Structure 1
Amino acid sequence: MVSFQVSELNEGKRFSSRVVLDKQFVVLDSNIPFSRQLQNRLIEWGFKEVFSDGEAKIEEPVQTRQNFESVDLDLDELNNEFGSKSSELNSSLKTVIEKANSNIKNFPNKDRMEDVTEVYNEFIKYTQAVFTRYVTHTELKQNELSDSIRLLIEFIRANKKFILRIQPSETSRTDKNFLISHCLRTTIYSIIIALQINMPVPKIIELGIAALIHEIGQIKLPPQLYLTDRPLLPQARNLLATHTVLGFNILKESNFPLSIQLGVLEHHERENGQGYPRKLTGNKISAYGKILSVACSYEAITAPRQYKEARTTFEATLEMLKNENKQYDDTVIKALVSAVSLFPIGSYVYLANGKVAQVTESNPNDPRLPIVELITEKNELGKPKVIMTDTEKYRIARVLNKEELKGLLAYLK
């Protein structure tokens, strides 16, 4: 491994292998241009040299943050549509949640989904405002984020079986702001996992903050990298992979706790050492990094993208349980499956007796036997009849396939 003096590196220089600090911490991936900003930051941090196994050369730099604003993101449009005053939206969150809680208390027989969906949409607006404010003002308000995540934790605790039924729409496939939905849904899964393992609330708040902004580094990259419907070339993949380090640096500059910084930095690390940016293994990965790794991956499987179709939550659960090549922490996977059930909340299933039902709640005693609502039977209040599945009459035979689900949803509408 060769050392390079930071003060002697020229802007635009690229290395054929990763550039590291202390022969371990990755600060620049291969074929990513060295910048004057990075040089100044390293000098400011007191690092006089970096290390790499590769050669260094000067090339025309890839399009990066310097011309990001002209690529695909209209800042005026974002400000007009979402506003930059996230504190006002934080206040709006409280109002909407109070209204939802009041409706739930005063109208117990009312369908909760309408109220829960309204709260979810309000959190989408808030998450968008957090990202927009950073783009336009380079500002992240930690105290406000803490308050918002605390509200979300309490709402999830009371309405988990409803909020898990909300799925991303097909329109998110072409939405240039799909990162917002991804970050919020990852936050919801992360909180649900944390509640399942009885993590202390202050730690869940930190985890929730890390989850909500875990993709913040991507806004410093050209949108073509994460909005394309075509396979990325190796150089573009390498550039996209730097978003974890970029996010870490953003939080470091904003004086967030180290635990939150590490959660953002390590959400693509894998237990088997095949993740990035540092190829950490097992216990070297932080607790927040382990949880975010599972929650982020689970969400990505179940959401549509320009380059792929969404898969069902059942398929996602099976994939996580397979844990191919031991990528994820077994304890975290077990917590996720216990919380959402083997047949995840929101799934539509065929029962052994020929009836169709929707999974509405996990069974704390056995994730294989969730609670379901029968689609074709009503109770005395005219609501779908609720039953506990079993291994005989009410055994779940299988989940509905995409065509069956499409037909059922059309019928229900």
Structure 2
Amino acid sequence: MENYRNLNELRPGAIIVEDIYANTAFPIIRKGTMLEIEHLEVLDLFNIKRVKIEERIANRVQTEQREEEITNTISSDIEQLLENKISRTSDLHTMYKKAVNDYKREFTSWRSGVKLDIAKVRLLIMPLLETYMEHKKMLVVLNEYSNRKEYLFHHAVSVGVLTSALASELDYPKGTTLQLGLAGTLIDCGMAKVNAGLLEKAAFLTKDEFTEVKKHPILSYQMMQDSPLLRQEMKLAVLQHHERMDGSGYPRGDRGEKISQLSQILAVADVFHAMTCERVYRAKESPYKVAEMMKEEDFGKFDPAILDALYAVIGMPDVGDKVLLTNGNVGEVVSVNSNKPLRPNIKLQGRDDILDLCANRSVAIEKVVN
């Protein structure tokens, strides 16, 4: 009998009944492999949540007889990939999680009345900003780290990282890039002064409740206004990060040139990460779909140059890339539509037909998997 099991339900000795892929050209674990402890660690590292196994546990004699076979199921190519992934991703993710936990501790102290100490926030975010600037390809998976229970803390750290990446892509000096990344981490510090129940509410907010939440840019500005560690233009950018070019934003309804480009960078990072993450009232969306929505459906709200920078930061699918689509299908990019770079033509795996994403708007790229 065969069945799917969650990772935490797996035990050594279970038999894998289908090849397992994880953003790789070759399986990280092959069909027929008898699971050992090291295989469970590999699955965890590659964030594999469920696998299909035989409903039987091999006896110890079988385990010993197949030990050499099991050892060889991870090819040298996969071992190298695993080694690279550990150095590139595991350490980076560890740094990220530490920053989130440190920010959570600071936020909790603000909520209890402790004054904002920007020096502490700078200390927790700067190493991460520097590291992500060297690993920009990892930016597109930031939403996968977040969870709805601690979204607010993940959001602060991720917006800081995305903001600095966008500023760097727009050729701002490094000092400005890092300052803006710090400002991005602090855009929602004023939420500590908002009723906590509103931030955790699963249903849509009432008009009065939303009016209360909309005060947070002003509260954030007030919390940081006396600190010399953040430039004045960064503080203004925090105050304006919910303003929109067409005047539809808040708290003042500023429009056009009244909104600094620094605040527009914060706005794009803020909205992009929020829309790609799971929230208490909404499922997460594909980063590629969100970037496209921001450019097309929200036309006039954001600076087009910053949206172009966002496209560059998340990376455009190219010919030969293997992609996972939002409908669950996997395919290979065979040609790119220059006017719609996020809607290439896809050769679906196991099928002869080509899917034109420009003509099939209900489907989008979920992620590039090679």
TM-score, normalization by structure 2: 0.63
Give the CA deviation at 1:321: 1.4
Give the CA deviation at 1:319: 0.6
User: Which deviations, in whole Å up to 9, do the C-alpha atoms of 1:195-216 show, x marking residues without a partner?
Assistant: 1111111111211111101101
**Contact 2:275–2:290 (CA<8 Å) still a contact in 1?**
yes
Q: Does 1:278 align with 2:252?
A: yes
Q: Does 1:258 align with 2:198?
A: no
Give the CA deviation at 1:190: 0.8
In the aligned structure 1, how far is the partner of 2:310 from the partner of 2:256?
18
In the aligned structure 1, how far is the partner of 2:322 from the partner of 2:222?
39
Tell me the SS of whatever aligns to 2:279: coil
The letter of the residue matching 1:159 is: H
In the alignment, which residue of structure 1 is the partner of 2:296? 322
Tell me the SS of whatever aligns to 1:326: coil
Give the CA deviation at 1:143: 3.6
Tell me the SS of whatever aligns to 1:276: coil
**Contact 2:139–2:314 (CA<8 Å) still a contact in 1?**
no
The letter of the residue matching 2:254 is: L
Q: 1:322 to 1:253 in 2, by over 3 A?
A: same
In the alignment, which residue of structure 2 is the partner of 1:349? 324
Give the CA deviation at 1:114: 2.0
Q: 1:397 to 1:187 in 2, by over 3 A?
A: farther
Q: Does 1:131 align with 2:104?
A: no
In the aligned structure 2, how far is the partner of 1:109 from the partner of 1:228?
37
In the aligned structure 1, how far is the partner of 2:179 from the partner of 2:317?
29
Q: 2:210 aligns with which of 221, 234, 237?
A: 237
- Unpaired runs of 5+ residues, structure 2, are 1-79, 344-348
In the aligned structure 1, how far is the partner of 2:189 from the partner of 2:127?
21
User: Which deviations, in whole Å up to 9, do the C-alpha atoms of 1:131-161 show, x marking residues without a partner?
Assistant: 2343346233334444444322320122121
In the alignment, which residue of structure 2 is the partner of 1:293? 267
Q: 1:222 aligns with which of 176, 195, 208?
A: 195
Q: 1:116 aligns with which of 82, 92, 116?
A: 92
**Contact 1:349–1:397 (CA<8 Å) still a contact in 2?**
no
Give the CA deviation at 1:226: 2.1
Tell me the SS of whatever aligns to 1:158: coil
The letter of the residue matching 2:115 is: E
Give the CA deviation at 1:111: 6.0
Tell me the SS of whatever aligns to 1:225: helix
Q: 1:260 to 1:321 in 2, by over 3 A?
A: same
In the alignment, which residue of structure 2 is the partner of 1:94? none
Q: 1:199 to 1:137 in 2, by over 3 A?
A: same
Q: 1:321 to 1:260 in 2, by over 3 A?
A: same
Identity of aligned residues (%): 21
In the aligned structure 1, how far is the partner of 2:303 from the partner of 2:136?
23
Tell me the SS of whatever aligns to 2:129: helix
User: Which deviations, in whole Å up to 9, do the C-alpha atoms of 1:294-351 show, x marking residues without a partner?
Assistant: 110111111111111111112101111115250111111111111113459x99436x
In the alignment, which residue of structure 1 is the partner of 2:73? none
Q: Does 1:201 align with 2:179?
A: no
In the alignment, which residue of structure 2 is the partner of 1:249? 222
The letter of the residue matching 1:271 is: M
In the aligned structure 2, how far is the partner of 1:161 from the partner of 1:184?
17
- Unpaired runs of 5+ residues, structure 1, are 1-103, 371-375, 377-392
Give the CA deviation at 1:293: 0.7
In the aligned structure 2, how far is the partner of 1:369 from the partner of 1:242?
35
The letter of the residue matching 2:154 is: S
**Contact 2:190–2:220 (CA<8 Å) still a contact in 1?**
yes
In the aligned structure 2, how far is the partner of 1:284 from the partner of 1:302?
28
In the aligned structure 2, how far is the partner of 1:266 from the partner of 1:167?
24
Give the CA deviation at 1:115: 2.2
Tell me the SS of whatever aligns to 1:246: helix
In the aligned structure 2, how far is the partner of 1:298 from the partner of 1:163?
11
Q: 1:307 to 1:396 in 2, by over 3 A?
A: same
Give the CA deviation at 1:122: 1.7
Q: 1:151 aligns with which of 122, 127, 134?
A: 127
Report the RMSD for the aligned CA atoms in angstroms.
4.0
Correspondences of 1:4-403 after superposition (within 5 Å): 112-136=88-112, 138-168=114-144, 172-173=147-148, 175=149, 177-255=150-228, 256-343=230-317, 348-349=323-324, 356=331, 368=341
In the aligned structure 1, how far is the partner of 2:88 from the partner of 2:205?
42
In the aligned structure 1, how far is the partner of 2:106 from the partner of 2:355?
42
Q: 1:140 to 1:109 in 2, by over 3 A?
A: closer
**Contact 1:146–1:205 (CA<8 Å) still a contact in 2?**
no
Give the CA deviation at 1:237: 1.2
The letter of the residue matching 2:165 is: I
TM-score, normalization by structure 1: 0.57
Give the CA deviation at 1:238: 1.0
**Contact 1:191–1:207 (CA<8 Å) still a contact in 2?**
yes
In the alignment, which residue of structure 1 is the partner of 2:41? none
**Contact 1:191–1:204 (CA<8 Å) still a contact in 2?**
yes
Q: 1:261 to 1:286 in 2, by over 3 A?
A: same
In the aligned structure 2, how far is the partner of 1:328 from the partner of 1:186?
16
Tell me the SS of whatever aligns to 2:324: strand
